[in-house]
Amino acid sequence: MSLITSKIISTITKSNNDICNLVQRCFASKTSDYVRIVEVGPRDGLQNEKKNVPSASKIQFINKLSDCGFKTIEVTSFVSPKWVPQLADGAEVFSKINKVQGISYPVLVPNLKGLESAMSVGVQEIAVMGSASDTFSMKNLNCTSQESVDRIKTFVNLAKQNNIKVRGYISCVVGCPYEGKIKPINTVKITEALLELGCYEISLGDTNGVGTPGSIKTMLKDVLKVVSPKQLAIHCHDTYGQALVNIYTSLEMDIRVVDASVSGLGGCPYSKGATGNVATEDLVYQLNGMGVETGINLEKLMEAGDYICKEIGKPTESKVHRALSKLKN
């Protein structure tokens, strides 16, 4: 081999190594950061359970979750007991849980009456609900998507006047059980509308779990043209086993807040066949493997999952929980 050839090969090799190192550093900088997990099990996870869960059990469940390292735990919903009988004890549960400093305990409110009830027990953060699908909105909220925004407008100012933070949910961001595929523009419009009302964060929900990395990416590309990723969260149901890969896709697009439900609890009464949210245990395991900080103690999380699963008489839907339990036994 000539001296010139040797130098060319050496230069190319060094260049390739520099490129590889740069790629690794870029990947590490994107993944080795912090993701805030919003635990929605006590509200979204339990609201569809037909077996009544005693208030004392809900309180104990939430207290166990407070010991896991979460920064946000959605506690309950201040909605009419006629529509969600399981959460009729919302005021009692919120009043009696141990509120740990540094943890936010939001509740879902659908209207002014719900807000007033929440304020009467000292709620400091609420969540409001919109939809990218008119048909789903009619089934769930008895109004169109735009009407739901107009309804929120009637009480969200009162919340802000009382220094209550407001988080927004949007259901059916990529697909609807009644309308099928949802155009990204529908999700964009509702996202902008809720932000204009004063929501500090919008949780984009794949309510019936039909999303794939392709549809989630397409939707997020359009939404991110008008809002910052810092204003967004992702909320994935695992009906088709796509929740974790959809979350990974969102992380690649700089979303850093993820909703999850311990043991995969949940479902949706207005979406036939929809299962619960991604299991928090599975999400934490995935993020740990990526080198992403969550602040969540997985062992304590599994204990909280064991507790609530015994209370409702159902096995955990978390694959990580099942696997680690077998190894422990």
Torsion of CA 6, 10, 13, 18, to 10 degrees: -170
Residue 277, helix vs strand vs coil: strand
Tell me the C-alpha to C-alpha distance, in Å, between residue 327 and each of 282, 318, 322, 323.
Answer: 16, 15, 9, 6
Question: In the beta sheet, which residues pair with residue 34?
Answer: 293
Q: Measure the CA–CA gap between 142 and 137, rounded to whole angstroms.
A: 6
For residue 44, what is the DSSP state? Answer: I
268 in catalytic set: yes
Alpha carbon of 309 to those of 96, 312, 314: distances in Å? 21, 5, 5
- Please work out, in degrees rounded to the nearest 5, the angle formed at the alpha carbon of residue 28 by the alpha carbons of 22 and 29: 90
DSSP H helices in the chain: 3-31, 55-66, 90-96, 112-120, 134-141, 145-161, 184-197, 213-223, 243-252, 280-289, 298-312, 319-328
Q: What is the residue type of 61?
A: F
What are the phi and psi torsion angles at 34 (to 5°)?
-110, 135
Secondary structure letter of residue 100 according to DSSP: -
Of 194, 192, 142, the C-alpha closest to 168 is 194
> Is the Cβ–Cβ distance between 159 and 166 less than 8 Å?
yes
User: Of 68, 176, 236, 268, which one is the catalytic site residue?
Assistant: 268
**Residues noted as catalytic:** 268
